[in-house]
Structure 1
Amino acid sequence: MTTTETLSAPGLTAGLWTIDVAHSEVSFSVRHMMIATVRGSFGAVSGTIDVAPELTASSIEVEVDTASVYTRNPKRDEHIRSATFLDVEKYPTATFRSTRLEPAGPSTAVLTGELTMHGTTREVRFDLRFNGVRVDPWGSTKAGFSAETVIDRHDFGMVTDMPLDSGELFVGREVTLTIELEATAQ
């Protein structure tokens, strides 16, 4: 990244933006038996984006209700909610709070912050894309963002592993987190 790169977000005005729960999603994917990919999402996502006049000074906070995990398989969902993975009774939420926003291109940035999940906080870096601003039919101004990162579930205390005969893991350690946000100007 060079120091001459700037972040451009036409139409994104300074101020508080609230995450539109009905049009936002936090999803994940992980290798299963190292031959397939399992995908899931969280249905309950909330938070705010504080857009600063200088875009790189902006911040975001996202909260996920971990019990809202959905993988299209109720038995697997219960296993993910259990103490083996998310332990939703002990850790009912996962949060992300940004600490830095660095331009990577005209509508892209690296969003760094603290991800807290399963009682553990780690710094993570998301590749962020600004998707634009539109006014909906009811007059609300909406902005869209996409972000993605890869984490190691062991870094967050989810270390239960089931080795296969091949020596590989039943559930991979690398988890791709994808965030699709639509936010409403306040």
Structure 2
Amino acid sequence: MWYTPYRFPPSIMDKRLLPVLATALVLTSCSLFGSGEETSMENGDKNAAPVEELNGGMNMEEGSTKEDAKPAYPIVLRGDVGSSHIAIAGKKGSVVLNQGKFNTFDFQVFLNPEKPDAFEVTQMGVGVLVSSLVTDNAGLTDNLLSANFLDPVSYPMATFVSTNIENTEGSRYHVTGEATVHGVTNEVSFDATITRESLEANLLLNIGDFGLSGMNDYDADVPMQISVKFQ
């Protein structure tokens, strides 16, 4: 594990932007849950069946309780930013020169809604606020966030949306999806360990694949470590 806790500058996490990131991910992932057609009650259909009829005439008080009806797992697992990190490193060969992390991100894992009692991961979505990047070197942070490199003014978000998730064994998964950085989208694959409590993953991103260059002191391959604790 290359990433070690570092006393970064005070967090600049803007919690006001988390709903924006979450909305973008939910809209991207709508196909997982169907077309989202309105129900007859939402359309004002006066002929819609009463709730009692839809429930087979069973009164909740006479049957199972709401607690009994709850699925074993929530349909969406959402990362707790305060106890999670998405970290990157600048390295040359096998030597890690600098490290950094993103303070503002939204990480969601979707479970199969048709199997609420089974832990079946079907989709993953990540949204990262690029300007929330901090590193252990203030000058490096400024260079990375300049208009000549990541340019967060023009490209404020980096995203990842899975296209395929394969359960290889137990809690191990092979994840494939589309990563968008600096306005460029490429396919990325990585292995991850996913449980109800957390997600752990390590991967390499080549900055050249996303139209980035000019960091000659570092390798083009940037290690990324993801450690997410779910709410």
Fold shared per TM-score above 0.5: yes
Residue identity over aligned pairs, in percent, reads: 26
How far has the Cα of 1:156 moved from its partner? 0.5
Structure 1 residues 53-86: Cα deviation after superposition (integer angstroms, max 9, x where no partner): 3655511111111111111211111111113331
Match of residue 113 from structure 1: 177
Q: Is the 8 A contact 1:120 1:157 kept in 2?
A: yes
Query: Do structure 1's residue 176 and structure 2's residue 223 form an aligned pair?
Result: yes
Letter in 2 for 1:171: Y
Structure 2: gaps of 5 or more residues: 1-70
Q: SS of 2:143's equivalent? A: helix
Structure possessing the higher radius of gyration over alpha carbons: 2
Pick the structure with more strand per residue.
1
How far has the Cα of 1:28 moved from its partner? 1.0
In structure 2, the CA distance between the partners of 1:78 and 1:182, relative to structure 1 (3 Å rule), is same
Match of residue 95 from structure 2: 36
Highest RCO, 1 vs 2 (Cα 8 Å, sep ≥ 6): 1
In structure 2, the CA distance between the partners of 1:183 and 1:35, relative to structure 1 (3 Å rule), is closer
Q: How does 1:84-99 map to 2 (within 5 A)?
A: 84-99=148-163
Q: Is the 8 A contact 1:64 1:93 kept in 2?
A: yes
In structure 2, the CA distance between the partners of 1:126 and 1:35, relative to structure 1 (3 Å rule), is closer
In structure 2, the CA distance between the partners of 1:16 and 1:56, relative to structure 1 (3 Å rule), is closer
Structure 1: gaps of 5 or more residues: 1-10, 134-142, 163-169
- Under a length normalisation based on structure 2, what TM-score does the superposition of the two structures give? 0.62
Q: Is the 8 A contact 1:148 1:178 kept in 2?
A: yes
In structure 2, the CA distance between the partners of 1:43 and 1:161, relative to structure 1 (3 Å rule), is closer
How far has the Cα of 1:126 moved from its partner? 1.6
Structure 1 residues 144-164: Cα deviation after superposition (integer angstroms, max 9, x where no partner): 0111211211001102253xx
1:81 paired residue among 121, 145, 150: 145
Q: How does 1:15-94 map to 2 (within 5 A)?
A: 15-32=75-92, 34=93, 36-37=95-96, 38-52=98-112, 53=115, 58-94=122-158
CA distance in 1, matches of 2:73, 2:147: 42
Match of residue 100 from structure 1: 164
What stretches of structure 1 move > 4 A for 4+ residues in a row? 54-57
Pick the structure with more helix per residue.
2
Match of residue 146 from structure 1: 200
How far has the Cα of 1:46 moved from its partner? 1.0
In structure 2, the CA distance between the partners of 1:12 and 1:28, relative to structure 1 (3 Å rule), is farther
How far has the Cα of 1:102 moved from its partner? 1.0
Match of residue 23 from structure 2: none
